[in-house]
Amino acid sequence: MSIYLDHAATTPMIEPAIDAMQRSLRKIGNPSSLHTDGRSTRKDVEEAREVIAAALGCQPSEVIFTGSGTEANNAAIKGLFWAAPDKNLIIVSAIEHHAVLDPAHWLVEHEGAELIQVPVTSDGVIDCDFLAHLVTTRGSEIALISVMAANNETGVIQPIHRVVEIAGDIPVHSDAVQSFMKVPLSYSQLGLFAMTISAHKIGGPLGIGALILRRAFEMPALLHGGGQEREIRSGTLNAPSIVAFATAVTENIYNAVTVSSLREKFESGIADVAPDAQINGTGAGRLPGISNITFPGTQADFLLLLMDGKEVSCSTGAACTAGVHRPSHVLMAMGHDEIGATSSLRFSLGATTTVGDIEYALSVIPEVVAMAKAANSL
């Protein structure tokens, strides 16, 4: 038995998307070519662009295909900063994904930018009063603001509409990779300047994402060459993956009510099998399928290995680099100490999660936690 509870990392590709990708792979024609084969492939790409735009409430011309959500985040953070040469300040939340934090830090190190991270509450919600004070006192210096739509570790949903209101004329970018197709999300209604999405979180293929960017806005590109995608993302368009991305949107099988019910069952069970466990972010609105749980007296990396040994796939909230375990910057920002921030697992449910999956995971957690506590006490 293999139980997959790591859908926030990647979720299984749905069959209709696989079929659409295979059909596209059998076609010939570069979408930038002017002959019949090229135009046919281009038509597929543009139809896919229209599908994704409709799902997001934006114009098709505002959808810029990229190789991943990470690339889209990099393009947005660096591009918006470079587009405002008279402004030097970057504002991000303290709980951003490293795909936002790292390019921001790169700009600090290589371009002389100043970076301020907005704190969050103990439930992981951005401090809008802090942000408002920054905009009031230093608004003329701010090149961009980036706040994720929902956190990848805790699932906590951020008040993006309020962030945009506070920002006024300052460009706001939001990493919506975890939120897209999970909760209602409208680019136009939110009033965002830029947004990032990715296919492999919704049943599409790996290696394809999109940056949603206001039409007619020009910004410096990361990649140069063929001038594709409004000259912001050069490179031959990955038509098979783009087509599969749109198919995953059209055939969306994610039922938020069902997934949320399964998470409630799981978290209720946790209270029974691990009474001292702490579920993070429960005081805020969360995505339906993410549950981040701290197990006191354990080490997350050992918990993860033990769960894997029981054939349950989940993840830690912390990053591991070169074998060195690091505390989760998200949980640290929420007020956890280093011990607590290295004692948490993320269980993320998806469209294919079943009641049986939840019951099996709950059945092995008591033994896993007991073993992890015993090992940690040595």
Which residues are known catalytic residues? 320
- Tokens standing for 43? 């038509």
> Of 30, 48, 25, nearest to 40 (Cα)?
30
Q: Tell me, what amino acid is at 52?
A: I
Cβ–Cβ < 8 Å for 291, 163: no
Other CB atoms within a 10 A radius of the CB of residue 227 amount to 13
To the nearest 10 degrees (0 to 180), the angle between helices 239-250 and 36-56 is 40
> Of 143, 228, 177, nearest to 10 (Cα)?
177
Cβ–Cβ < 8 Å for 128, 154: no
Cβ–Cβ < 8 Å for 243, 24: yes
Q: How far is CA 222 from the centre of its chain?
A: 20
Cβ–Cβ < 8 Å for 32, 229: no
Q: CA 182, CA 201: separation in Å to the nearest integer?
A: 10
Q: Tell me, what amino acid is at 366?
A: P
| End-to-end Cα separation, the chain, in angstroms | 31
Cβ–Cβ < 8 Å for 91, 134: yes
Q: Dihedral sign, CA of 19, 21, 22, 26?
A: positive
Q: CA 157, CA 152: separation in Å to the nearest integer?
A: 10
Q: Dihedral sign, CA of 17, 18, 22, 23?
A: negative
Q: Supply the DSSP symbol for 325.
A: E
Give backbone dihedrals phi and psi of 245, rounded to 5 degrees, phi first: -60, -50
Cβ–Cβ < 8 Å for 2, 364: no
